[in-house]
């Protein structure tokens, strides 16, 4: 069973699942006995199952971070209270999975979390309708996806790094940082070698002779798999911040309400953003089987979210019906006829830029 991080509210003694994959923050109906404020949103679980909602309720949380956190929660038919992306983004809270803690980016104070099993329903999406209607529209959507999928030379996969006008910069100060490679054995070594062989073949990494060297880092994924990247904490500490603004999730939620919308996910999204040539050596990762540097932007770098947002803002600047949040692209329309045109317009732009859609999530 997958394990997740939880934190207690010391005021209400409610246990919250900390889940940045959930668009909205939720408390179960069983915890709220007072009258509720009117609720406009409807919800669905990550597996598409509708979730009953009952209204909004204001709570001020004491998470042991030396300041209160006021929020308007959605009251829903769920078993577990959830701190979602809206709450975390608004209050500047960062989840540190490795050290099992929640960090307040405004005060640098952190609170310990504890591990528990994943709730049966956790990640949620805020929506107005949750299915493509039966009849001609469903056939039209399927035909559109089929046409675009077949037009790709290697559907959903990256053969090379796209040549985008926006590159990820790593502006550093001080001397290069380097560490010895971490020991890997058995399953972890095999997983790391397999992933690096694939990245090397696709041109996402290349052999390196850099003075910089961050240790390899493996993050467990559902299904017993591993995500392989670098532990860039020392590099990030020497990297100047990029102040490019990120979207405010509350504004996106307000725009979604009452609209026909789709979320388009890019495969290996960050890897599709090129690293500036002069900064590529700084991404070097030391492994038991060699030193490699990233040509495509790896996970874990400071400012990577800002670079991705900047690239998408530039690429999609003429599509006023498209919004981007982190590595998700939202397409908003007034009706299904318009939505089909909007989706085709987005896919045309992505294909011209040689960006690859994750068809497994379409």
Asked if 119 contacts 83 with a C-beta cutoff of 8 angstroms, the reply is no
Q: Is residue 88 scored above 90 in pLDDT?
A: no
Q: Token pair of 226, please?
A: 């591993």
pLDDT of residue 99: 81
Neighbour count for residue 188 (Cβ, 10 Å): 16
* Distance, CA of 240 to chain centre: 22
C-alpha span between 343 and 133 (Å, rounded):
16
Classify domain 186-361 by CATH number: 3.10.10.10
Question: Each residue of 260-288: pLDDT tens digit?
Answer: 777 787 888 889 999 999 999 999 999 99
DSSP conformation class of 178? B
Q: Is residue 354 scored above 60 in pLDDT?
A: yes
Q: Tell me the domain boundaries of the chain.
A: 3-127, 186-361
Q: What is the mean pLDDT of residues 22-35?
A: 79
N- to C-terminal Cα separation, the chain = 26
Q: Is residue 104 scored above 50 in pLDDT?
A: yes
pLDDT of residue 236: 93
Q: What is the mean pLDDT of residues 101-111?
A: 82
Question: Each residue of 302-334: pLDDT tens digit?
Answer: 998 899 999 999 999 999 999 887 677 888 888
Q: Which CATH class is domain 3-127?
A: mainly beta
pLDDT of residue 219: 74
* pLDDT: which is higher, 40 or 208: 208
Q: Record the pTM.
A: 0.63
Catalogue the E-assigned strands of 243-289.
260-265, 285-287
pLDDT of residue 126: 44
Dihedral (CA of 119, 125, 129, 133) sign: negative
Q: Is residue 138 scored above 80 in pLDDT?
A: no
In total, the chain counts a number of residues equal to: 362
Q: What percentage of the chain has pLDDT greater than the value 90?
A: 31
Q: What is the mean pLDDT of residues 36-49?
A: 60
């Amino acid at each position: 069973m997958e394990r997740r991080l939880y934190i207690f509210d010391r005021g209400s003694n409610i246990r919250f699942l900390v889940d940045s994959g959930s668009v909205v923050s939720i408390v179960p109906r069983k915890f709220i006995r007072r009258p509720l404020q009117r609720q406009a949103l409807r919800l669905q679980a990550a597996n598409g199952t509708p979730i009953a909602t009952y209204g909004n309720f204001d709570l001020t949380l004491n998470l042991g971070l030396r300041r209160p956190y006021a929020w308007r929660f959605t009251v829903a038919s769920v078993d577990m209270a959830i701190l979602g992306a809206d709450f975390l983004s608004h209050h500047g809270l960062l989840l540190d999975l490795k050290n099992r803690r929640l960090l307040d980016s405004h005060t640098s104070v952190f609170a310990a979390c504890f591990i528990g099993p994943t709730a049966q329903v956790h990640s949620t999406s805020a929506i107005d309708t949750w299915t493509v209607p039966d009849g001609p529209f469903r056939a039209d959507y399927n035909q559109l996806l089929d046409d675009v999928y077949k037009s790709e030379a290697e559907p959903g996969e990256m053969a090379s790094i796209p040549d985008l006008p926006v590159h990820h910069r790593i502006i550093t100060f001080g001397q290069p940082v380097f560490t010895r490679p971490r020991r890997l054995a058995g399953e972890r070594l095999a997983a790391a070698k397999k992933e690096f062989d694939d990245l090397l073949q696709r041109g996402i990494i290349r052999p390196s002779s850099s003075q910089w060297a961050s240790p390899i880092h493996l993050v467990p994924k559902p299904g017993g798999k591993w995500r392989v990247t670098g532990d860039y904490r020392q590099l990030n500490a020497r990297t100047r911040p990029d102040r490019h603004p990120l979207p405010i999730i509350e504004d996106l939620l307000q725009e979604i309400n009452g609209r026909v919308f789709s979320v388009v996910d890019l495969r290996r999204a960050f890897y599709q953003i090129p690293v500036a040539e002069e900064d590529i050596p700084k991404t070097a990762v030391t492994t038991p089987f060699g030193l490699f540097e990233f040509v495509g932007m790896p996970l874990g770098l400071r400012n990577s979210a800002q670079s991705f947002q900047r690239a998408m803002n530039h690429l999609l600047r003429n599509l006023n019906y498209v919004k981007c949040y982190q590595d998700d692209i939202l397409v908003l329309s007034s009706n299904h006829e318009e939505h089909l045109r909007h989706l085709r317009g987005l896919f045309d732009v992505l294909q011209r830029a040689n960006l690859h859609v994750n068809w497994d999530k379409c």
